[in-house]
A = this chain, B = another copy of it.
Amino acid sequence: MSDDRSLTPQSEDFSAWYNEVVQRAELADYSPVRGSMVIRPWGYGIWERMQRALDDMFKETGHENAYFPLLIPMSFIEKEKEHVAGFRPELAVVTHAGGKELEEPLVIRPTSETMILEMYAKWVQSYRDLPILMNQWANVMRWEMRTRLFLRTAEFLWQEGHTAHATEAEAREETALILDVYRRFMENWICMPPVTGLKTESEKFAGAVESYSCEALMQDNKALQAGTSHFLGQNFAKAAGLTFQSEAGEEEYAWSTSWGVSTRLVGGMVMTHGDDAGLIVPPLLAPIQTVIVPIYRNDEERSATVAKAQEVAARLKDLGVRTKVDDRDHLNPGAKYYEWERKGVPFRIEVGPKDLEKGSLAIARRVIPEGEKRKIFVAEDEAIATHPQRLDEFQAALRERATRRREANSHRGVTDWGEMKEILEGEGGFVYTGWNGDPAVEERAKDELKATIRCIPGAEFRSDSAPTDCISGDGAAKHEVIWARSY
């Protein structure tokens, strides 16, 4: 069916715009189970490309995939005290199976540290068995009260990496390595350049020694925690009894890390690039990079333009461009334009009788370069030959635009609480300030400003001259931090 209702404008209600675009671009839909969504082929196709790219990066850095059980005995989760305190309220519990009540309830994994380290403990004897560098692609379940498609759902898809090492230094290196893999992936594939840094004590993963995160800034100037990499010290190794014999012959606990990104990244992509016409998908992630629409008024024109569209599609496919000819007969071209724009396909090529005469193609860009018109007309051979480059440039332009937007909405050197309040209650964005390290300041910001410290930025994201006093006015700054409202 043709759906030509327009979307709620972003400026009017960003949240309504988001929900509409996710559903009407057919990325996902609500399911009959509260908090669980259905990822439709267009959304799953984008996720598949994210998976493939990340998986390649994990493998290049020495990791292997495996698969661990969905169900975890309640007693495992309880072994690490901070861990269970963090996750208990969100657990889904299987109490009956095979027609009987279970002796011990099983929980659907909210994350798998406890199960995976239990298995590592079985496999590891000596330092020669370390490091173990494994990842799994899996579904997990966290019973959330308020859910939003992709951003916060009870069930979600993710990858969770779990590594075990003989030394603290190695585990710390791994934590940093993966944080960098995530950053590069988000920049280069999603065109969603994050700031990376350390989470504060109050925001870290339940059971971690330190958590690092990628924080991306959405178009409504709220932050999205888009990926996390945790240094777990020996906490989970102790809970699971994961020991090894060191080279010196001593029995020691291993050091572990865990790290994950999820289908939340699809939501991040939507909120980084989309506009009032719908989605904008970076070419590297787009299931269809270029749609070709034949234009005709009668059967004769139809057969000529459809034939040309197919010929152009075949030539583009030979160049590696994911191309689709939309030759549906019951929709007019305008309806097709709306649909593919809403789905965020980077380029549309129109083939009409006049284009055939002239030997040229009309190329409509999903994002119009400043000062230009949507369409350009290019001689057919040139249009095809230069199309891969056009896709690369589109990808680069999205990345640059998002980076500029993040920087334009990063407020550095803020020293006054009132100023921070004005920014966060107004246009929003990242607010860089000094912080004395006191959680009471975080509490106050949460209450007064609905904002949190997103991270203590890593070296490359720190200001050249950060404030030396805490934003609270109470003492010297221990760290430069970034505040924002967030998803």
Contact = CB atoms under 8 A, between A and B. Distances in A.
A68 B119 contact: no
Given A89-B98, A92-B97, A95-B96, A69 B33 contact: yes
A343 to B, nearest CB: 14
Interface stretch (A14-22, A36-44, A207-215, A389-397): A36-44
Max chain B C-beta neighbours (<10 A), residue from A37, A66, A123, A125 = A66
Interface in A241-289: none
A73 interface: yes
A141 B96 CA distance: 13
A98 B143 contact: yes
Contacts of A98: 89-92, 143-145
A422 interface: no
A99 B89 contact: yes
Interface string A26-68: 0001011100111111001101100000000000000011111
A5 interface: no
A358 interface: no
B33 A73 contact: yes
Nearest to A90: B98
24 contacts: A1-B129, A29-B122, A32-B73, A33-B73, A36-B70, A38-B66, A38-B68, A41-B65, A45-B64, A45-B65, A47-B67, A71-B155, A88-B99, A92-B96, A92-B97, A92-B98, A92-B106, A93-B94, A94-B94, A95-B95, A98-B145, A99-B143, A108-B108, A138-B139
Given A1-B129, A33-B73, 7 more contacts: A31-B69, A36-B71, A41-B65, A41-B66, A70-B141, A91-B98, A99-B143
Interface of A: 1, 29, 31-33, 36-41, 44-45, 47-48, 64-73, 76, 88-99, 105-106, 108, 115, 118-119, 122-123, 125-126, 128-129, 134, 138-139, 141, 143-145, 154-155, 157, 330
